[in-house]
Structure 1
């Protein structure tokens, strides 16, 4: 049964059947929009534990033609709902809510409010630290073994992985340019070219090893 019909069936509530003003708390029941419009359905525990709303559009910070910020709430999560001109047939989700059972991904225990976090269901994290002198941007996967860290204080970028790191430019070039470049491996190092290779130094070039083979 739809929310509109449920209200209409309640005797003595016909006057507000299609008009609810202000905001209400709902719980997501369905986020698989058959039309692919990013809508969800919700139920209202204060009204019914089973009946759900019509498809509700989600207000986001940015939306447009196949662009925007895309975050869908999970089923059973709390959301804040309003109705267009108070009409319950046209619900909108204007925000998502934390609660005692579903707390936020971080806290503000020191009261300085330095941390901003985006954390996914599986545990992937984008973390912005605005603490003066310790500003960083972190992108960390759920294992915390793969990360990219932009450190403003030290003016560095660190890419870390317990596995492989691949740089690929199938139709382009990869260029490394710096004051100094150091390449070091704890096992073998291999440099291979499918065409020519040039090694050039404007000063001394040293080749050192127990055995050096030139073919």
Structure 2
């Protein structure tokens, strides 16, 4: 350096392209080939480039493991920065990245299509799953898209406001402009609640299971139904309990051909056969 303190030589800014992001210290630093400064790779090999620090936004602490990670730039990213040591050019700092359209070819556009009015996520729907509520219009849809294909959308498009979080395998949740939430899990879904859980539903509740269902409860179960309770089982119902108590005097319908035990004198158990019409069988003692 030609001055005593960094920054006293003036602001030496530049544009460049990231060539390496495998920072051995994992601080998010990158190696940048600065335009009109480093020349080509023969003149200055990538290994000879200095590691450039990323200037993080002030809403991130960048201290004591708190804040956003300084990762995100890729090999090929065009960046803007400056040399903290002026014309010496040994202390590069990156201030930001610049998107573009390489070769003016729209198919190479650096900005995700989701932010450019194009729903590039193709979802196959199953069961009652509705189609996507995507209606993004540039420049209202703020999108984060990762290298592998994970997506987070915060869409402020008028009348199409939406929040969408998508995993590259197809699992997602989406909240549309009316507040409706759609959630889809393409693999196992595991939920663990350490304490209590309350579910309150003002409308109807429907569960459809294509496979089997199993519920294991260590305590008691209390079910209160103010209306009717209809149970339709095509197979066999098996009830196994130490004691089964039914309300005294309750009645149940019987079919023609069924038999019932009664308290009539002279009748043997199981000989009171229903031969016509319908009858009522009293349950309880």
TM-score by length of 2: 0.60
Residue of structure 1 equivalent to 2:96: 95
Map 1:26-175; keep pairs closer than 5 Å: 26-47=16-37, 48-50=39-41, 51=44, 52-61=48-57, 62-65=60-63, 66-70=65-69, 71-84=71-84, 86=86, 88-101=89-102, 103-106=110-113, 107-108=115-116, 112-143=138-169, 145-151=170-176, 153-169=177-193, 171-175=194-198
Per the TM alignment, residue 117 of structure 1 is displaced from its structure 2 partner at its CA by 0.6
Per the TM alignment, residue 28 of structure 1 is displaced from its structure 2 partner at its CA by 1.5
Structure 1: gaps spanning 5 or more residues: 5-17
Q: Does the aligned pair in 1 maintain the 2:80–2:97 contact within 8 Å?
A: yes
**Matched residues, number:** 195
Structure 2: gaps spanning 5 or more residues: 2-7, 103-107, 118-135, 241-285
Per the TM alignment, residue 19 of structure 1 is displaced from its structure 2 partner at its CA by 5.7
Per the TM alignment, residue 118 of structure 1 is displaced from its structure 2 partner at its CA by 0.3
Q: Does the aligned pair in 2 maintain the 1:125–1:141 contact within 8 Å?
A: yes
Residue of structure 2 equivalent to 1:176: 199
Instruction: Give SS of 2:51's match.
Output: coil
Per the TM alignment, residue 159 of structure 1 is displaced from its structure 2 partner at its CA by 1.0
Q: Does the aligned pair in 2 maintain the 1:21–1:85 contact within 8 Å?
A: no
Alignment deviations for residues 91-111 of structure 1 (CA, whole Å, 9 cap, x no partner): 111111223345211354697
Q: Which has the higher contact order (CA 8 A, sep 6+)?
A: 1
RMSD: 2.7
Instruction: Give SS of 1:178's match.
Output: coil
Deviates more, 1:124-133 or 1:76-85: 76-85
Greater Rg, structure 1 or structure 2? 2
